[in-house]
Amino acid sequence: MKKVTLSHVSKSYDQQSFAVDDVNVEINPGEFFVLVGPSGCGKSTMLRMIAGLETITAGDLSIGENRVNHMPPSKREISMVFQNYALYPHLTVEENILFGLKARKMNKIERNERCQEAADLLGLTPYLQRKPRELSGGQRQRVALARTVVSQRPICLLDEPLSNLDAKLRGYMRTEIRQLQKKLGITMIYVTHDQVEAMTMGDRMMVLKDGKVQQVGTPLSIYNQPKNLFVATFIGAPPMNTLPLSLSQDRSLMFMNEKISLATPVSWRTLLNTKDHFHLGVRPEQVFPAEEVLEPSIKFDVTIEDTEVLGNETHFTFTLGKATWKAKWQGQWPKNIGDLLSLAVPLEAAYLFDTDTEEIFYSGQVQLSEGVQVL
């Protein structure tokens, strides 16, 4: 088992802008590591640099103890699963699975043993003599995974392998890939733009934006303690509610220049002495009916603009200041568009972000700034 280390790795195509900018991370042996971010953030470029399909402009890439910046892909002991499966349409499932082993001139007996083992593991035994066109999307994806399994490489790279599947099949394949990784004990580096995949599959994940690393950590640590406003609004479904706030001369809260009936919490007074403008962040599941919140809270009345009843939970959409917010409540709530709601947010559920840097400077759950009292 080998770790993958990126030290100040950058990629530029024009020597002026960077597709990947100064990435530093160590991916541990046997870890399921997810690269997540919006389209164009550099996650696939980073994966291709690890695979050896893209040159590295600056920095060092190491696999184990070896620097591999200029090592060809065939020498890196890496397998890769692509978004489009990359199956040969004229070959059977069995021939597709064994193609790489035949190219390596492995003896027939060992090839067949590996193929049968991979087919059993992924439920492909009944389909070994079929052509790819005779398979469903999920079955084709399993063939691509089987080709990775038979290679027995210690590191597997997956580039958005589930994006072509429907929602139900994506959920099923997420579980399959995660179980497969645990059974084999291999290192998987997984690229996705879907934050649900990142949250449910990864041991750790890296959030990227415009080629820059925003945060690295476990899914729950990133969800509970986002480093900045981008991470807070990207991770979570529905995303975190945010609202630009300012303080009036008497230090009461205002929605920009539109004064509202919110008293500044006493525990925020010291913190906000140096802040005139900031963003308030609140997760939708932390917006409660006012009568259910007994502890210190921010309270406000709103008009429902949309209702989504999903069976096990209900989402309400409303406007606060000039921002559109959502509340997510468990169960089925018989509320209609136009109804009035009295809502409350416990102070311990609030996040505060600097307006200029967008960095978090306060969370009710954890002390993030020296001299700030935890609520």
Q: Which of 158, 193, 224 is the last residue of a domain?
A: 224
Q: 288-306 burial, b for 16+ CB within 10 Å, e for fewer?
A: beeeebeeebbebebebee
Q: Same domain, yes or no, for 176 and 242?
A: no
Return the beta strands (E) in 28-154 as ranges. Answer: 32-36, 58-63, 66-67, 78-81
Q: What is the CATH number of the domain that holds 287?
A: 2.40.50.140
Q: Which of 195, 224, 253 is the last residue of a domain?
A: 224
Contacts of 22 (CB under 8 A, 6+ apart): 8, 9, 10, 59, 212
Q: What is the pLDDT of residues 252-308, one digit of tens each?
A: 555 544 544 455 566 666 667 667 788 999 999 999 998 998 777 788 889 999 999
Q: Same domain, yes or no, for 153 and 28?
A: yes
Specify if 314 maps to a domain. Answer: yes
CA dist 251 → 242, 259, 320 (Å):
20, 11, 20
Q: Same domain, yes or no, for 32 and 125?
A: yes
Specify if 373 maps to a domain. Answer: no
Q: Are 106 and 98 in contact (CB under 8 A)?
A: no
Q: Same domain, yes or no, for 214 and 269?
A: no
Q: What is the CATH number of the domain that holds 91?
A: 3.40.50.300
Q: Find the angle CA(115)-CA(117)-CA(121) to the nearest 5 degrees.
A: 115
Contacts of 79 (CB under 8 A, 6+ apart): 147, 148, 151, 153, 155, 156, 157
Q: Same domain, yes or no, for 343 and 322?
A: yes
**Structural domain range at position 87:** 4-224
Q: Are 195 and 206 in contact (CB under 8 A)?
A: no
Contacts of 74 (CB under 8 A, 6+ apart): none
Q: Which of 196, 224, 252 is the last residue of a domain?
A: 224
Q: What is the pTM of this model?
A: 0.88
Axis-axis angle for helices 137-151, 167-184 (nearest 10): 10
Below-50 pLDDT ranges, the chain: 256-257, 259-261, 366-375
Q: What per-residue confidence (pLDDT) applies to 269? A: 63
Q: What is the pLDDT of residues 199-249, one digit of tens each?
A: 999 999 999 999 999 999 999 999 999 999 999 999 998 999 998 887 666
Strand partners for 26: 5
Specify if 170 maps to a domain. Answer: yes
Q: Same domain, yes or no, for 96 and 161?
A: yes
Q: Same domain, yes or no, for 292 and 244?
A: yes
Domain total in the chain: 2
Q: Same domain, yes or no, for 184 and 309?
A: no
d(CA 20, CA 18): 5
Q: Same domain, yes or no, for 137 and 178?
A: yes
Specify if 374 maps to a domain. Answer: no
